[in-house]
Amino acid sequence: MGLILKDSQYIEGIASNWETQKDIRNYLQTIDKLKKSIKDKEVQSISLNDGLLKEIDKEIIWYSYDSSNRATFFTSHYIGYYSSIGENEEVNIEIKPRFGEGVLNYLLSYAYGIYLPKSDSSVSSSNSKNNTLWLITVMWKAMLEKAITKSQIPKEYKAYEQNSSRFRGQLQISKHIKNNLVDKSKFYCKYRKLTMDTTINQTIRYTYNLLVKKEKGLKSLLKDIAEYDNMLHSFGVQHRKISTFDIKNIRYSKLNIYYKKVMELSALIIKSQSINNDSKSLNREGFSYFIDIAELWENYLLKLLQKHLPQYNIYSPNEKGGEYLLENSFREIRPDIIIEQDGEIVAILDAKYKWYNKIGKYASNYGAVSRDDLYQMSSYLYHYSREDKPIVGLFISPIGGDEDLNILSHNDKHQMGVVNLNIEQFTQDSDEDFQKFSRESIEEEERKFISKIPLAIVNK
């Protein structure tokens, strides 16, 4: 049984009705199990920035339930998949992007150069778990290609023992006497040999073969990795079953550190398949796969601004490192995007994957910036302004509507406003209230957005 939701439904939620109490109990128990797994740090998200696994610091799904057999589900800014066991039955929960796969694909390709193929072209749309493997596989492939480019094929010295006519390494005296008491022409030696038959290379082979056997579409996606797999085979790398425990025990050095991200994604893929194959176990650990769409939104905006506003120096403190609000390195602050002009910071941008379209007189106003985000931006403006020079703070959300800048009451050179890039209007569905997604339509919306940024800076 499965439950399909969309991300960022934290305001109104998604209401559902079921015919039986058993359905409700299964879903609610699975969500409770996910909550506990997040709290215990057993469930992590995949960072699109580097492919590493990150801790999740908030709930992904929560619910309300009333006595009329009605449950409402709320979601935060994560997409992904979770599978576990309810009342003796497998329960699958999928969170899809609220703006559709077309917009998601566009954002991924723009921000990271990742192309997400249409799931219905090669993978059965009836199996949510198989659909979610697309993005993991694409990321795994991208990280492997990056590791191959930046590093050599991992090698290591392994210890071998051999009784032969050739003396090499160290003589194992006790074993030599035991095996060669009669035949004096042999030597029982222990020696070290440089080999490519390492756990890293074995994991690459095992993960690749696991994926191509899973779905025909994945085989097509990984067709250029087939040659690399054949090369590893020719170098003597075994094709053996790898466990997540094997991957956990890999020791990294300067020579193989670029493969760490590949190994973490391999562990996730191997875990998902082992759980999928263990259909008889009703106490097995749930499989999870989540991606933070807020992170994607931030990186998309950064790349978009850098490309279209070359007259400014635009960067993310996540790349250069943040600063500290207090002395002695206390309370680090790290805005999403900073814009500089002539060496001076002129704008702080806060990429919010939320429903903001105004500052609002009160935080309770629909579409208003929350109190916490408003105060955080105030701290940014206070910290990054220099000698009382003008600076503007902008909130950027993916919905329609924005408003004129508001002057801060304590300093007329500090202003805040909301300048949005409306991708909410696009969808792949047939809903008449939305505009059908196309590259041309979203590029037109980008041009409108880009034109507002210099005006906001000039009006400061």
Do both 190 and 139 map to the same domain?
no
The answer to whether residue 64 is domain-embedded is yes
Boundary-marking domain end, from 131, 165, 195: 195
pLDDT score recorded for residue 320: 66
pLDDT score recorded for residue 435: 63
The answer to whether residue 301 is domain-embedded is no
Instruction: Please answer whether residues 69 and 60 qualify as being in contact, where contact means their C-beta atoms are separated by less than 8 angstroms.
Output: no
The answer to whether residue 160 is domain-embedded is yes
Long-range interactions of 33-41: CB distance < 8 A, separation 24+: 33/84, 33/286, 34/60, 34/61, 34/82, 34/84, 34/93, 34/286, 34/288, 35/59, 35/61, 35/62, 37/286, 37/288
Q: How far apart are alpha carbons 96 and 5 in whole angstroms?
A: 6
DSSP state of 180: -
Do both 223 and 332 map to the same domain?
no
Do both 284 and 147 map to the same domain?
yes
pLDDT score recorded for residue 357: 92
pLDDT score recorded for residue 282: 37
Residue position matching structure tokens 């075994």: 238
Supply 272's token pair.
């998902």
341 DSSP β-pair partners: 344
pLDDT score recorded for residue 157: 86
User: Chain centroid to CA 324: how far?
Assistant: 27
Measure the CA angle with vertex 135, ends 224 and 125; round to 5°: 105
Do both 121 and 39 map to the same domain?
yes
Do both 86 and 222 map to the same domain?
yes
Boundary-marking domain end, from 293, 318, 338: 293
Q: Which residues contact 14 (CB under 8 A, 6 or more apart)?
A: 5, 6, 72, 73, 74, 75
The burial of 63, by beta-carbon neighbours within 10 Å (0-12 exposed, 13-18 middle, 19 or more buried), is given as middle
Boundary-marking domain end, from 266, 293, 320: 293
Number of domains in the chain: 3
C-alpha count within 13 angstroms, C-beta hemisphere, residue 309: 24
Which domain does 385 fall in, by range? 309-458
Instruction: Please answer whether residues 180 and 187 qualify as being in contact, where contact means their C-beta atoms are separated by less than 8 angstroms.
Output: yes
Q: Which residues contact 417 (CB under 8 A, 6 or more apart)?
A: 359, 392, 393, 394, 395, 402, 403, 404, 405, 406, 456
Do both 246 and 365 map to the same domain?
no
pLDDT score recorded for residue 333: 78
Q: How far apart are alpha carbons 374 and 388 in whole angstroms?
A: 20
pLDDT score recorded for residue 43: 84
The answer to whether residue 302 is domain-embedded is no
- Provide block-wise average pLDDT over 10 residues at a time, the chain (460 residues): 87 73 82 89 82 83 82 92 77 86 86 67 42 76 89 88 88 90 88 90 95 77 90 94 93 91 89 59 58 94 96 86 68 87 93 92 89 92 84 93 84 91 74 67 93 83
3-state helix, strand, coil in the chain (%, to 5): 40, 25, 35
The answer to whether residue 351 is domain-embedded is yes
pTM for this model (two decimals): 0.80
The answer to whether residue 304 is domain-embedded is no
pLDDT score recorded for residue 327: 65
